[in-house]
Amino acid sequence: MTCIETANKGGQETVLSYLVHGMPKYFIVILILFLAATGCWAQHDPSRNAMRALARNNIEDVFEALETPNHRKNSPISQAEKAYVKMLAYSYQDQLELAFKSAMKAVENGLPLERFFVGPRSLLSKLHSYKPFIEFIKQKKMGIAHGPLLGSVTDHSANFWVRTTKEAKVKVTLDPIDADTLPHQKIVANARTLAEKDYTAVVKVSGLQPSTSYAYQIHINGKPYSQRYQFVTFPEKESPSKFKIAFGGGAGFTEQNERMWDTMNTFDPIATLLLGDNVYIDDPEHTLTDRYCYYRRQSRPEFKQYVATNSIYAIYDDHDFGDDDCIPGPEIENPKWKREVWNVFKNNWNNPSYGGGEDHPGCWQDFYIANVHFILLDTRYYRDLANQNMLGSFQKEWMLEKLRTSKGKIKVLVSSVPWSPGVKPGSKDTWDGFANEREEIFSYIEDNGIEGVVLMSADRHRTDLRKISRPKGYDLYEMMSSRLTNIHTHDLLENAIGSEFIMGYNEECSFGLVELDTAGNGPELVFKIINIDGELVGEHAIKYNALTFKK
Q: Are residues 433 and 337 part of one domain?
A: yes
* Domain containing residue 183: 144-231
Residue 273 and residue 306 in one domain: yes
Output the pLDDT for position 33.
36
Range of lowest pLDDT (110-124, 229-243, 283-297, 426-440): 110-124
CA distance to 148, 198, 211, 223, 225, per residue, from 217 (Å): 9, 22, 19, 10, 8
Domain ends where: 116, 137, 158? Answer: 137
pLDDT at 76: 56
In a domain, 4, yes or no: no
The verdict on 378 and 275 lying in the same domain is yes
Q: What is the mean pLDDT of the chain?
A: 90
Among 179, 210, 231, identify where a domain stops.
231
In terms of domains, do 430 and 360 share one? yes
Instruction: Indicate whether 298 and 361 sit together in one domain.
Output: yes
Q: Is residue 324 part of a domain?
A: yes
- In this prediction, what percent of the chain has a pLDDT beyond 90? 83
Burial call 271-284: b when 16+ CB within 10 Å, e when fewer: bbbbbbbbbbbbbb
Model confidence at 372: pLDDT above 60: yes
The total domain count for the chain is 4
Please report the DSSP string for 22-75 in residue order.
T--HHHHHHHHHHHHHHTT-SS--HHHHHHHHHHTT-HHHHHHHHHSPPSSTT-
What sign does the CA torsion over 236, 241, 243, 249 have? positive
- Give the pLDDT of residue 160: 98
Q: Which of 198, 231, 264 is the last residue of a domain?
A: 231
**pLDDT, tens digit (0-9, with 9 covering 90-100), for 462-496:** 999 999 999 999 999 999 999 999 999 999 999 99
pLDDT at 163 over 60: yes
Residue 24 has pLDDT above 80, yes or no: no
219 pairs with which residues across the strands?
Answer: 171, 224
Question: What distance in Å separates the CA atoms of residue 42 and residue 289, rounded to the nearest whole number?
Answer: 17
Residues 64 and 122 in one domain: yes
Give the pLDDT confidence of 76-129 residue by residue, as tens digits: 568 999 999 999 999 999 999 999 999 999 999 999 999 999 988 988 999 999
Residue 15, pLDDT > 50, answer no
**Domain co-membership, 366 together with 411:** yes
pLDDT(436) > 90: yes
191 and 242 Cβ atoms separated by less than 8 Å: no
Residue 1 has pLDDT above 70, yes or no: no
User: Residue 4 above 70 pLDDT?
Assistant: no
Average pLDDT score over residue span 317-346: 97
- Arithmetic mean of pLDDT, 252-277: 97
- Give burial (CB, 10 Å; 0-12/13-18/19+) of 178: exposed
Is 1 inside any structural domain? no
Per-residue pLDDT reduced to its tens digit, 167-193 = 999 999 999 987 555 555 689 999 999
Task: Using alpha carbons, list the distances in angstroms from residue 426 to 42, 176, 250, 317, 431.
Answer: 19, 53, 21, 19, 12
In a domain, 519, yes or no: no
Three-class secondary structure assignment of 300-327? CHHHHHHHCCCEEEEECCHHHHCCCCCC
For residue 40, the model assigns a pLDDT of 44
Residue 159 lies in a domain: yes
Q: Are 133 and 150 contained in the same domain?
A: no
Give me the percent of the chain exceeding a pLDDT of 70. Answer: 89
Mention every residue, 6+ apart, whose C-beta is less than 8 A from residue 303: 258, 261, 297
Distances (CA, A) of 17 to 5, 20, 32, 280, 426: 10, 5, 11, 24, 11
User: Quick one: pLDDT at residue 180?
Assistant: 57
- Cα gap 235→232, rounded to integer Å: 9
Check if the beta carbon of residue 98 is closer than 8 Å to that of residue 105. Answer: no
* Segment 421-443 mean pLDDT: 97
